[in-house]
Amino acid sequence: MTALARAATAIDSASIGRIATDCLKLEIATYPKPGLVSPVDTGAHDDMDAAMMNRSAETLEPFFARLADAGAAGAGMDRLRAIGIEAEVAMMAATGGVNTHRGAIFGMGLLCAAAGFRAAYRASGTLGEIVAHRWGAEIRRGPVALHSHGSTAARRHAAGGARAEAATGFPSLYDIALPALAEARLLTAEEEARRVHALIALIVGVEDTNLLYRGGTEGLAFAQSRARTFLASGSVAIPDWRARAVAMHEAFTAQRLSPGGCADLLAMALFVEARGA
Ligand SMILES: CC(C)(COP(=O)(O)OP(=O)(O)OC[C@H]1O[C@@H](n2cnc3c(N)ncnc32)[C@H](O)[C@@H]1O)[C@@H](O)C(=O)NCCC(=O)NCCS
Ligand SMILES: Nc1ncnc2c1ncn2[C@@H]1O[C@H](COP(=O)(O)OP(=O)(O)OP(=O)(O)O)[C@@H](O)[C@H]1O
């Protein structure tokens, strides 16, 4: 690529890393979120809480900055993967072995790399398009963990999971989350309510392998149907929306259902909003 032959413009990778971590923390701070960890409770999880997740998010900041630098240096997927794996090791060390952010490292990490690439080469296209064009084929071909919860669910239910989402340029971000964040401005003036609306829209439309792993196709269908009903009956525009969202959170928690992939995508949508699509 001729653009890559030219010297790249210096980029503010530290700021990209900071925004990525801030967006993970905003997702954690949001309540109510069906089955997910927040400062109020730990939802369907018994091995992690908000303090651990915030620690994990802070640990990841320098890795997100390194991924932005790598993107700016024209790195291929092998290099990004190596940094991503280092970030997973640091996350595990910070949490005593709990998977707080594996999906987020992967998706947010690729967006940081794309943000670095776009800034350095003044490339056109959305961050999602850059991920798909530059790294999509290698993401598809790349090594698949034989025994991860996600890969087990993906095999069992023929779902694409985080890898397919990234390889196709994050359609759930551009077709679901960002339009929902924009539409929510017409429904509410509250920023937290806007995030809840976008998360629930994601649950309706995403095949989340966390839901599939924990609840099978029935769990996924239950989650999507509750989320659809919430949106259809006024979402965050009606006065008792919080009570209704808490009831949904309790129903997911009772069934041990947690849409962790949708939570990751919410944080990523906030990042894309902050950096420009
Ligand atoms: C691809 C990864 C996520 C493999 O994990 P796994 O096999 O469990 O995949 P799976 O797609 O099912 O889910 C992993 C996580 O992604 C999130 N997720 C689940 N479903 C979805 C979905 N539909 N869309 C987006 N994210 C999702 C959840 O948080 C989930 O826990 C990743 O761990 C990996 O390969 N890491 C290596 C490092 C790397 O390549 N990094 C890239 C640069 S940062
Ligand atoms: N607020 C949140 N609460 C819970 N999970 C979240 C949250 N935000 C993001 N996630 C995502 O959910 C995933 C964690 O889900 P989970 O704990 O179900 O994974 P697991 O370790 O595969 O399964 P299990 O806990 O059943 O052993 C992480 O990869 C993370 O990226």
Spacing, Cα 114 to ligand 1 middle (Å): 17
Instruction: Name the residue of 80, 204, 209 to mutate for ligand 1: max ligand atoms within 8 A of Cβ.
Output: 209
Residue 10 identity: A
Q: Which domain holds residue 153?
A: 10-134+146-275
Identify the band that residue 8 occupies on the pLDDT scale cut at 50, 70 and 90. Answer: low
Q: Which atom of ligand 2 is nearest to the CA of 37?
A: 3
Spacing, Cα 143 to ligand 2 middle (Å): 21
Whether 5 is in a domain gets the answer no
Whether 194 is in a domain gets the answer yes
Q: Which atom of ligand 1 is nearest to the CA of 108?
A: 44
Peptide bond into 39 cis (omega under 30): no
The predicted structure's pLDDT at residue 128: 98
Whether 233 is in a domain gets the answer yes
Q: Which residues contact 56 (CB under 8 A, 6 or more apart)?
A: 91, 94, 95, 100, 101
| Interface pTM, i.e. ipTM | 0.94
Which residue lies with its CA nearest to atom 3 of ligand 1? Answer: 103
When the pLDDT of each residue in the chain is averaged and rounded to a whole number, the result is: 94
Q: Note the pLDDT tens digit of each residue in 77-126.
A: 999 999 999 999 999 999 999 999 999 999 999 999 999 999 999 999 99
Distance CA 48, CA 35 (A): 13
Which residue lies with its CA nearest to atom 23 of ligand 2? Answer: 149
Spacing, Cα 244 to ligand 1 middle (Å): 30
Whether 215 is in a domain gets the answer yes
Whether 241 is in a domain gets the answer yes
Whether 58 is in a domain gets the answer yes
Query: Looking at the 3D structure of the chain, how many domains does it have?
Result: 1
Q: Which atom of ligand 2 is nearest to the CA of 264?
A: 9
The predicted structure's pLDDT at residue 3: 47
For residue 268 and ligand 1, the question of a CB distance below 6 A is answered with no
Q: Note the pLDDT tens digit of each residue in 12-54.
A: 999 999 999 999 999 999 999 999 999 999 999 999 999 999 9
Identify the CA nearest to 136 among candidates 114, 158, 154.
114
The predicted structure's pLDDT at residue 148: 72
Spacing, Cα 71 to ligand 2 middle (Å): 26
Which is higher by pLDDT, 173 or 143? 173
Identify the band that residue 131 occupies on the pLDDT scale cut at 50, 70 and 90. Answer: very high
The predicted structure's pLDDT at residue 72: 96
The predicted structure's pLDDT at residue 117: 97
The predicted structure's pLDDT at residue 2: 45
CATH number at residue 242: 1.10.4200
Whether 95 is in a domain gets the answer yes
Whether 255 is in a domain gets the answer yes
Measured N-to-C along each axis, helices 260-275 and 13-29 cross at an angle, to the nearest 10 degrees, of 140
Spacing, Cα 102 to ligand 1 middle (Å): 6
